[in-house]
């Protein structure tokens, strides 16, 4: 059977001859009917002359109207219309040809031409259409037989797009897909038929999966934004039906088979919320024609900031990162997609003050997006000195240089783990927040601080220089698909056949897609006046174990049956849930419903010096002393599932012993 399905199509000349044979046979039958089947008289008459002329006209007409060029198994209404048109043209041309080529020259008038043509029109066209219908039916009966290897799929919706998907699937045998029907939510279309395919209701998905062997459903990207998408997808996954997505028909690539344009539904698609509306005009006014620096440009957030910033046509974009390969990849991408924009690449670490100073001196950025940071909680719990040197000292270097070089806006990318930090990574980001806020809020800095000395060495007024830079912090939770995050790890584990590792069955996290997080970062940058910490609406927190189950189902597998989920226990520094606001913070609304301002009690100017002291401790490599100092600067920093829990002071204690005493 499969040999028949995979066989090459018949040559076009064969189809042309078959059509000619059918129409000539029809003409013969019509001739005999008019002659009342008087065979002796017919054969003695001019039958062969009339038939030969008809065959010549039919051959020329079929060839010119290209009735033989369509693949018979995919015949449609247009092909049927072309057949009727061709037979009609033959029927109109034949009497004229008989009159001119037979009757007048040879004085032959032995046939009722009008009667023959009238009968032949219906017989010939009907036989040609029936031949195509029979072959098409035979082909699909074989394809849908138990011996066929084609996968049965459903198509969500019953509009023109859904019909085009069905026709596209049936037009390419290499797709190896068989449309079993459509799925609709509108009652008026349920149980109807479209091109011989039934329209099922959502409630019939279980039956379709069990009795018809359906294992996949196709949706367009546009349908993923519909109100009922989650209910439909959940129902599919519940019954083991894998969901595939395809772009709208106007976005299909003509040189690419439909099967290659089908994509698996991603967890990012399923968790994505309503599209974010941002003020593009205001962002464009802020970024257009400016020199913009992005640190951590090779990372997930930094690279997406680069992509979105480039759409606003900056004068220059400076991409800075220490990861050579990843930086080269983003360079190649943006230079190909935005050839007219001046893009500069700087390899270097934000920890290297001299290297960063050269960057600011050579390129003179006007706006800075600071995304460079260490972010992995367990890793930083084991290497707190590195967390401080990158997340705190690196931020300090870029912030100080922004002041010295009169950067107009400094936007720092922070994390929800900075709220009531339970780990070194979160605490280091909170310290970075404190540093840039202090730079913004205090005109008078400690004279012994390096920031003060650096600015004074330039011979400028400290207050005037500081007031030129507004420092803005953006804080949000986990981003889906970022490097090293849970989603890519789960995908890799699924590809290997499992198991999926989850730390705890109750652990929850907030998630946001990378593009929407960056959209909000750009929007927050335009509305900030300096000193604010902007927090983003992260929606509802998600249980990681639910995320794992959903990803297994999206892969067309059954959790705990095809792929196991194992619990490994919370890692050092991890807590069960994250927070977006600390108790001491007040939330203020902004004009954007998804962005709020967290007002934090401003620290004294001495924080600048305290943080410099902390950096000095980190350079000595004394982890215990370093973490103790961090806890002294951040009273709400309480370690969770960590060896540094012993350094926490008792809650509500009046115990004022010096922190260094705790180490003895």
Give pLDDT tens digits for 197-221.
888 888 888 888 877 778 888 887 6
**In the predicted model, is pLDDT for residue 580 greater than 70?**
no
Q: How far is CA 588 from the centre of its chain?
A: 32
Q: What was the pLDDT predicted at 4? A: 42
Question: Collapsing DSSP states into helix, strand and coil, what is residue 198?
Answer: strand
Longest CA–CA span in the chain (Å) reads: 130
For residue 423, count CB atoms less than 10 angstroms from its CB and return exposed for 0-12, middle for 13-18, buried for 19 or more: buried
Averaged pLDDT score across all residues of the chain:
80
| Torsional class of 459: left (φ above 0), alpha (ψ -120 to 50), beta (otherwise) | left
Mean predicted confidence (pLDDT) in 54-82: 73
Whole-number Cα distances in Å, 155 to 145, 195, 203: 20, 13, 15
Q: What percent of the chain has pLDDT over 90?
A: 27
Q: What was the pLDDT predicted at 459? A: 53
* CATH number 3.40.47.10 given to 151-265: no
| Domain residue spans of the chain | 2-143, 151-265, 287-497+518-541+572-599
In this structure, the dihedral spanned by the alpha carbons of residues 399, 404, 406 and 412, taken in order and rounded to 10 degrees, is 0
Q: How far is CA 628 from the centre of its chain?
A: 43
Mean predicted confidence (pLDDT) in 371-392: 94
Q: Which two tokens stand for residue 501?
A: 């590792």
Question: Collapsing DSSP states into helix, strand and coil, what is residue 320?
Answer: strand
Q: What was the pLDDT predicted at 5? A: 45
**436, 412 Cβ separation under 8 angstroms:** yes
C-alpha span between 570 and 641 (Å, rounded): 7
Q: What was the pLDDT predicted at 7? A: 45
Q: What was the pLDDT predicted at 332? A: 94
C-alpha span between 32 and 449 (Å, rounded): 112
C-alpha span between 484 and 301 (Å, rounded): 13
**In the predicted model, is pLDDT for residue 434 greater than 80?**
yes
C-alpha span between 229 and 225 (Å, rounded): 7
**In the predicted model, is pLDDT for residue 497 greater than 50?**
yes
Question: Lowest-pLDDT range, 315-319, 429-433, 517-521, 589-593?
Answer: 589-593
Q: What was the pLDDT predicted at 128? A: 82
Task: Kindly name the residue from 417, 470, 575, 596 that is annotated as catalytic.
Answer: 417
Q: What was the pLDDT predicted at 252? A: 62
Give Cβ neighbours of residue 49 (< 8 Å, ≥ 6 apart). 102, 108
Say which DSSP state 116 is in.
Answer: H
C-alpha span between 622 and 618 (Å, rounded): 7
C-alpha span between 233 and 226 (Å, rounded): 11
For residue 36, count CB atoms less than 10 angstroms from its CB and return exposed for 0-12, middle for 13-18, buried for 19 or more: exposed
**CATH code of the domain occupying 287-497+518-541+572-599:** 3.40.50.720
Same fold, 151-265 and 287-497+518-541+572-599: yes
Q: What was the pLDDT predicted at 591? A: 80
Q: How far is CA 202 from the centre of its chain?
A: 25
Mean predicted confidence (pLDDT) in 474-495: 82
Q: Which two tokens stand for residue 437?
A: 């806020």
Give Cβ neighbours of residue 198 (< 8 Å, ≥ 6 apart). 181, 182, 191, 192
Mean predicted confidence (pLDDT) in 430-452: 74
Q: What is the pTM of this model?
A: 0.71
C-alpha span between 439 and 603 (Å, rounded): 10
**In the predicted model, is pLDDT for residue 565 greater than 80?**
yes
- Condensed to tens digits (0 to 9), the pLDDT of residues 19-39 reads 888 888 888 888 788 877 776
Phi (first) and psi of residue 230, to 5 degrees: -65, -40
69 or 609: whose pLDDT is higher?
Answer: 609
**122, 16 Cβ separation under 8 angstroms:** no
N-to-C CA span, the chain: 82
C-alpha span between 120 and 26 (Å, rounded): 6
Mean predicted confidence (pLDDT) in 417-436: 93
Whole-number Cα distances in Å, 317 to 82, 307, 309, 311, 411: 58, 10, 8, 11, 15
Is the omega angle on the peptide bond into residue 499 within 30 degrees of 0, that is, cis?
Answer: yes
Mean predicted confidence (pLDDT) in 252-267: 66
Question: Lowest-pLDDT range, 26-40, 577-591, 618-632?
Answer: 577-591
- Residue 417 appears among annotated catalytic residues: yes
258 or 652: whose pLDDT is higher?
Answer: 258
Q: What was the pLDDT predicted at 657? A: 38
**In the predicted model, is pLDDT for residue 597 greater than 60?**
yes
C-alpha span between 204 and 241 (Å, rounded): 12
Q: How confident is the model at residue 427 (pLDDT cuts 50, 70, 90)?
A: very high
Beta bridge partners of 409: 367, 470
């Amino acid at each position: 059977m499969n040999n028949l399905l995979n066989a090459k199509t018949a040559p076009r000349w064969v189809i042309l001859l078959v059509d000619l044979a059918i129409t000539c046979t029809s003409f013969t039958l019509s001739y005999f009917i008019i002659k009342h089947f008087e065979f002796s008289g017919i054969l003695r008459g001019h039958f062969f002359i009339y038939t030969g002329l008809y065959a010549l006209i039919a051959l020329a007409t079929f060839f010119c109207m290209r009735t033989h060029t369509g693949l018979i198994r995919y015949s449609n209404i247009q092909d049927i219309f072309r057949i009727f048109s061709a037979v009609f043209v033959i029927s109109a041309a034949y009497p004229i040809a008989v009159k001119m080529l037979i009757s007048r020259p040879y004085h032959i008038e032995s046939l009722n031409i009008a009667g023959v043509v009238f009968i032949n029109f219906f017989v010939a066209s009907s036989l040609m259409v029936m031949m195509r219908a029979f072959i098409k039916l035979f082909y699909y009966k074989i394809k849908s037989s138990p011996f066929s290897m084609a996968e049965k799929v459903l198509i969500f919706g019953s509009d023109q797009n859904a019909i085009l998907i069905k026709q596209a699937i049936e037009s390419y045998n290499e797709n190896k897909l068989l449309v079993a029907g459509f799925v609709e939510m509108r009652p008026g279309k349920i149980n109807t038929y479209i091109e011989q395919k039934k329209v099922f209701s959502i409630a019939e998905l279980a039956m379709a999966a069990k009795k018809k062997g359906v294992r996949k459903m196709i949706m367009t990207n546009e349908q993923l934004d519909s109100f009922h998408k989650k209910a439909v997808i959940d129902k599919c996954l519940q019954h083991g039906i894998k969901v595939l997505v395809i772009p709208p028909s106007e976005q299909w690539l003509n040189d690419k088979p439909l099967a290659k344009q089908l994509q698996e539904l991603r967890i990012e698609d399923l968790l994505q919320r309503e599209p974010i509306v941002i003020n593009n005009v205001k962002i464009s006014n802020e970024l257009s024609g400016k020199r913009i620096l992005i640190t951590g440009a090779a990372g997930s957030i930094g690279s997406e900031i680069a992509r979105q910033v480039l759409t606003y046509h900056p004068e220059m974009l400076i991409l800075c990162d220490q990861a050579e390969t990843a930086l080269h990849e983003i360079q190649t991408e943006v230079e190909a997609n935005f050839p007219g924009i001046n893009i500069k690449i700087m390899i270097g670490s934000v920890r290297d003050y001299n290297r960063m100073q050269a960057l600011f001196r050579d390129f003179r950025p006007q706006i800075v997006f600071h995304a460079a940071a260490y972010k992995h909680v367990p890793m930083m719990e084991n290497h707190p000195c590195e967390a401080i040197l990158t997340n705190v000292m690196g931020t300090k270097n870029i912030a100080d240089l922004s002041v010295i070089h009169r950067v107009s806006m400094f936007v720092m990318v922070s994390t929800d783990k900075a709220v009531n930090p339970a780990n070194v990574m979160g605490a280091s980001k909170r310290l970075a927040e404190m540093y840039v806020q202090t730079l913004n809020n205090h005109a008078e800095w400690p004279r012994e601080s390096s920031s003060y000395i650096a600015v004074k060495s330039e011979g400028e007024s400290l207050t005037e220089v500081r007031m030129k830079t507004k420092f803005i912090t953006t804080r949000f939770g986990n981003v889906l698909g970022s490097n090293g995050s849970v989603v890519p790890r789960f995908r890799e584990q699924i590809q290997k056949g499992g198991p999926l590792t989850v730390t705890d069955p109750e652990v929850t996290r907030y998630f946001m897609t990378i593009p929407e997080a960056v959209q909000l970062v750009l929007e927050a940058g335009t509305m900030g006046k300096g000193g604010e910490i902007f927090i983003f609406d992260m929606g509802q927190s998600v249980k990681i174990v639910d995320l794992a189950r959903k990803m297994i189902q999206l892969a067309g597998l059954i959790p705990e049956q095809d792929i196991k989920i194992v619990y490994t226990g919370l890692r050092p520094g991890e807590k069960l849930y994250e927070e977006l606001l600390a108790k001491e913070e007040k939330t203020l609304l902004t004009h954007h419903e998804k962005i709020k301002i967290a007002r934090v009690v401003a620290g004294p100017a001495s924080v600048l010096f305290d943080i410099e002291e902390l950096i000095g401790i980190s350079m000595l490599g004394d982890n215990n002393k370093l973490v103790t100092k961090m806890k002294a600067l951040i009273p709400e920093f309480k370690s969770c599932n960590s060896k540094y829990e012993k350094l926490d002071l008792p809650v509500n204690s009046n115990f004022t012993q010096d922190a260094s005493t705790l180490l003895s």
